Amino acid sequence: MRLATAALVLLLLAGLLPQAASASAPAKSDRPVQVFDVRAGKVVQSFPNEDAYQQIARSWLDAAEGLSPNLSPDDDCGYVFRIPLREPASLKVGRLHLRAEDVFLFYCPEREPELLVFDERKKPYLLTARPDLRPFFERIGFEP
């Protein structure tokens, strides 16, 4: 059940549901960085999307290693961090080539983080990654 809730929230956050799009939607640069608590089933923190977050998101994408063997993120995962990109980022991992507009990082204290990105057709890709999370955690005041 929690996985279904998390998936629905992620779809809403990514703007994939028609209800999420509107004429008054904020510009890409105005979309906030968000912290989603999976157990609580809601966004618990939002931050202005500053340049530092753009650099952090790009470093996460650079740390992508390949497609995850998992079909979906762990539903007991602690947090999902979302950084909307101001400009789409090109991502090449192995034979996979895509342009992402948002970067979602699934953080589970007992596991390696995973990235979720969507291609231009909104197809999801779950990726393994080993990013340095300290700069992001320090910036948002998060203690794992």
Give me the residue spans of the domains in the chain: 2-14+31-140
Q: What are phi and psi of 67, to 5 degrees?
A: -70, 140
Mention the CATH class of domain 2-14+31-140: alpha beta
Q: In the predicted model, is pLDDT for residue 90 greater than 60?
A: yes
**pTM here?**
0.80
Residue 72's pLDDT is: 73
With a pLDDT cut of 70, the percent of the chain lying above it is: 76
CA pair distance 76, 99, nearest whole angstrom = 28
Reported confidence tier of residue 74, pLDDT bands at 50, 70, 90: low
Reported confidence tier of residue 113, pLDDT bands at 50, 70, 90: very high
Q: Comparing C-alpha atoms, which of 43, 113, 114, 115 is closest to residue 85?
A: 115
Give the model confidence (pLDDT) of 26-48 as tens digits. 555 589 999 999 989 999 999 99
CA pair distance 128, 16, nearest whole angstrom = 23
**What average pLDDT does the segment 69-76 reach?**
73
Q: What are phi and psi of 23, to 5 degrees?
A: -65, -25
Reported confidence tier of residue 73, pLDDT bands at 50, 70, 90: low
Dihedral sign from CA coordinates of 58, 64, 67, 70: negative
Residue 29's pLDDT is: 56
Which residue reads 């589970």 in tokens?
108
**What average pLDDT does the segment 74-103 reach?**
91
**What average pLDDT does the segment 18-31 reach?**
50
Between 19 and 53, the more confident residue is 53
Residue 46 is which amino acid? S
Report residue 104 as tokens.
């979602």
Which residue reads 């990514």 in tokens?
14
**Mean pLDDT of the chain, nearest integer:** 83
